[in-house]
Amino acid sequence: MIKEVEKIIIDILSHEMELPLTYGINDEGNEVPVFTIGYSNAMLGTTDKVQISVQTMNVQPVANNSKLDISVTPPLERQYLSALQTLQVDIMSANTEARTRSYEIILALESIYSQQQQEKYQFKLNKSNTGFNNVSEAEGESNLNRFALTITAFTWYYKTKQIPDYYDKFNIRADDEKTINEIDGILEFDYDFGEENNG
């Protein structure tokens, strides 16, 4: 992916829910994020407003491949991975926003803007999600409203790396029992796998 899938989802949610990426700086001089990748309880004490966390729970490879490109010097290894990625979106707040706005996340992920971002980055969000689970009880005495949504996405990853030590030239020799210990064999030639074969 050109961009992390978590960041794409955050962009979609920010756009559709009309939320900024940050609430600014608090009295202690720390930035108060609206969105986080992963869950950090320390940030939640800084505001009673809604905060949203997006994190990957699982990546299941669907297809994995590696190809050698000898059309460039030095040769390149091109690695490809297609995967089914499970993500969790948590919406949390000390006020009622998490409860009253949780449905907006489902709407945002199916919006036209979301579809445009999926086309732009060539990935696909699965339409059938599990819906929200109320996990506020796990927050204990913090009195946070917290709702969790699990979604799946078909994603892809791509990586290239140089292969400086690539061997495509070989000396080939054929022998029989008479020439095996001789200087010259029955047949000897050099073969270059990097050259085009027009024959």
Give yes or no: residues 123 and 179 share one domain. Answer: no
Instruction: Please give the tally of structural domains in the chain.
Output: 2
Give yes or no: residues 105 and 193 share one domain. Answer: no
Give yes or no: residues 16 and 101 share one domain. Answer: yes
Give yes or no: residues 151 and 187 share one domain. Answer: no
Structural domain of 131: 5-162
pLDDT (tens digit, 9 = 90+) per residue, 40-72?
654 555 788 999 999 999 999 999 999 988 888
pLDDT over threshold 90, residue 173: no
Give yes or no: residues 43 and 140 share one domain. Answer: yes
Give yes or no: residues 177 and 157 share one domain. Answer: no
Give yes or no: residues 138 and 171 share one domain. Answer: no
- In angstroms, rounded to a whole number, what is the distance separating the alpha carbons of residues 64 and 110? 28
CATH of the domain at 45: 3.30.70
Give yes or no: residues 158 and 172 share one domain. Answer: no
Give yes or no: residues 179 and 135 share one domain. Answer: no
Distances (CA, A) of 13 to 34, 57, 83, 152, 194: 11, 19, 22, 16, 50
pLDDT (tens digit, 9 = 90+) per residue, 107-137?
999 999 999 999 999 999 997 777 888 888 7
Structure tokens at 189: 């030639």
Whole-model pTM: value is: 0.77
Give yes or no: residues 98 and 191 share one domain. Answer: no
CA dihedral over 184, 186, 189, 193, signed as positive or negative: negative
Q: How confident is the model at residue 197 (pLDDT cuts 50, 70, 90)?
A: very low
Give yes or no: residues 114 and 188 share one domain. Answer: no
